[in-house]
Amino acid sequence: MPSQPAVRVAIGPEGGGEVGRVTLQTVADAVGVSRMTVSNAFSRPDQLSPAMRERILATADELGYSGPDPAARALARGRAGAVGVVMTESLGDAFLDPVTAAFFGAVAHELAPTGLALSLIPADTIGERSAARDLAIDAALIYACAGDVEAVRSLQRRNLPIVSVDREPESTGTSIRLDERLGGRLAAQHLIDLGHTDIAVFTMQPSLPGPAWADDPRGRLGDHVADERLRGVLEATDAAGLTLRVFHVKDNNDRYIVPGAAALVADRDRPDAVVCFSDAMAAALSAAAQSAGVRVPEDMSIVGYDDSRLASAVSPPLTTVRQDFVAKGQAAARALVGAIEAMRAGAQLPLPPEDVILPVDLVVRGSTGAPRSGRRESVGGPT
């Protein structure tokens, strides 16, 4: 077995010679205290006087010692100090999404004082490797995962506390979600109040490739958030006696929504008002419309969802349903910390269910207006 590489350490003003790898004992010997005292300086600072802790940390820094091995420390404490995060999307795509980035920024900011780290877990197992099965974590955050996801099943089998966000509520643990039906209803009612009668929804249906008109506009889309927003729109259009159309693409990212938006605008029976699943969809639809000579909002009113930074950056700025990313991130982080603390206090899994529903509201900007005079008043399915 190869020997450890030698490390030169300077002890005292004259320096020192070659010694082995710097350890907790090396620092303890240099300071003249016990190993436990040095360990406390890193992991239990309240057990030492500020002067002693500062002396130990200064000596450790001089010797090039960064602290006890994290794996050994986690084993000794019985906790990993990390939360696993699972997302359906590829991690690269997820953090290109301003909504996802804003949410996780809020989660990270809220968790920072606790010392808990976020560990990203791929949704699917690759070969024999499975971070969801093997990664040392204290709890898991499942974000916007639709359907049957292998990583989620693995985490559930590990009997860890789990907090779900933007998913159908679980029978155990905490679910954090928006009042999606209210959001869909607010968006549609705004268009109805403006006088629109030909309203469509531009959304996603993960199980179908698209872009296409849905055969059954009342059918489930296969994604909890998309389903709830559609149900809200239907509540408003049903009450107004209108027939709703649904145009779907496979997923909420540019490679699907940009060609989908172009196809929707090119349809000869295009609607004069559209409720979009996201601001990204709304911005793509607005760009496609204007490129085709369809004026927004004179020829087509468009409502987004999220009120991300994109909503006010496009022209005209988007009317949209606003969600509070910070409040959602804070709620998720607090639920995680609460679940971990409950387990440390002796609570048994499964933890009781809690469904946290956050409010939404409508922000009216320039992408919506009254229907242009002369537009058709009857509605029906696409031809």
pLDDT confidence band for 142 (50 / 70 / 90): very high
Q: What is the pLDDT of residues 270-327, one digit of tens each?
A: 999 999 999 999 999 999 999 999 999 999 999 999 999 999 999 999 999 999 999 9
Backbone angles phi, psi at 158, to 5 degrees: -75, -5
Say yes or no to pLDDT of 1 above 60: no
Distance between CA atoms of 159 and 226, rounded to whole angstroms?
Answer: 29
Residue 69 pLDDT: 59
Say yes or no to pLDDT of 68 above 60: yes
Residue 147 pLDDT: 63
Q: Do 188 and 295 belong to one domain?
A: yes
- Dihedral of alpha carbons 267, 273, 279, 283, sign: positive
Residue type, 102: A
Lowest mean pLDDT across 143-152, 158-167, 209-218, 322-331: 143-152
The verdict on residue 365 lying in a domain is no
Domain CATH number, residue 220: 3.40.50.2300
Residue 34 pLDDT: 92
Say yes or no to pLDDT of 331 above 90: yes
In DSSP terms, 156 is beta-bridged to none
From the list 360, 359, 282, 358, the residue with the least C-alpha distance to 322 is 360
The verdict on residue 113 lying in a domain is yes
Q: What value does the mean pLDDT of the chain take?
A: 85
Q: Do 142 and 211 belong to one domain?
A: no
Residue 12 pLDDT: 36
Q: Could you list the residue range(s) of the whole structural domain that residue 347 is in?
A: 82-178+325-358
Tokens of 258: 């940009």
Whether the CB-CB separation of 38 and 60 falls below 8 Å is answered with yes
Rounded to an integer, the average pLDDT of 228-235 is: 98
Say yes or no to pLDDT of 7 above 50: no
Whether the CB-CB separation of 201 and 274 falls below 8 Å is answered with yes
pLDDT confidence band for 166 (50 / 70 / 90): very high
Say yes or no to pLDDT of 153 above 90: no
Residue position matching structure tokens 């531009």? 202
Residue 44 pLDDT: 75
Tokens of 289: 């419309």
Q: HSE (CB half, 13 Å, CA atoms) of 100? A: 20
The verdict on residue 291 lying in a domain is yes
In DSSP terms, 363 is beta-bridged to 320
Q: Which residue has the higher pLDDT, 372 or 251?
A: 251
The verdict on residue 367 lying in a domain is no
pLDDT confidence band for 70 (50 / 70 / 90): low
Distance between CA atoms of 271 and 263, rounded to whole angstroms?
Answer: 12
Q: Do 87 and 51 belong to one domain?
A: no
Choose one of 43, 68, 93: the last residue of a domain: 68
The verdict on residue 373 lying in a domain is no
The verdict on residue 369 lying in a domain is no
Domain CATH number, residue 35: 1.10.260.40
Q: Do 312 and 228 belong to one domain?
A: yes
Q: Do 117 and 150 belong to one domain?
A: yes
> How many domains does the chain contain in total?
3
Distance between CA atoms of 257 and 272, rounded to whole angstroms?
Answer: 19
Whether the CB-CB separation of 224 and 166 falls below 8 Å is answered with yes
Backbone angles phi, psi at 47, to 5 degrees: -85, -10
Q: Do 304 and 214 belong to one domain?
A: yes
Residue 271 pLDDT: 97
The verdict on residue 77 lying in a domain is no
Q: Do 294 and 348 belong to one domain?
A: no
